[in-house]
Amino acid sequence: MNGSVSPTLRRRRLGRQVRERRTELRMSGTEVARRIKVNQSRWSKFEAGKAGLTEVQIRKTIEVLHPLGGAGR
C-alpha cells in the first residue's frame, strides 16, 4: 500500500469526529440536521461515513459545532 488513506476511511473518521463533538455539546443529531437544513437520515448517514455533505452544509456544520465565542477544543 502506498500509505494514503482511502476516501471511505477519511469519511468514517470525519463522521466519528463530528459525532463526538456533537455529543460533547449535548446536541442531538436531529437538532444539528435541522440547523444545517438536511434531513435526519442524511445526517445519520454522514456521521456513519456512508454519505457526504455539500461544501455549504459542511460550513454550516462548522458554524453549529464550533460557534464563535463558544467553548472549543
Options 3.60.15.10, 1.10.260.40, 2.130.10.10, 2.40.50.1020; which CATH number does 7-65 get? 1.10.260.40
Q: What DSSP element (H or E) covers 3?
A: none
Q: What DSSP element (H or E) covers 46?
A: helix 40-47
Q: Which residues of the chain have pLDDT under 50?
A: 72-73
End-to-end CA distance of the chain: give it in Å, rounded.
33
Phi, psi torsion values for 43, nearest 5 degrees: -60, -45
Locate the domains of the chain by residue range. Answer: 7-65
pLDDT at 2: 56
In whole angstroms, what is the distance from residue 73 CA to residue 54 CA? 24
pTM, full prediction: 0.82
pLDDT, tens digit (0-9, with 9 covering 90-100), for 8-23:
999 999 999 999 999 9
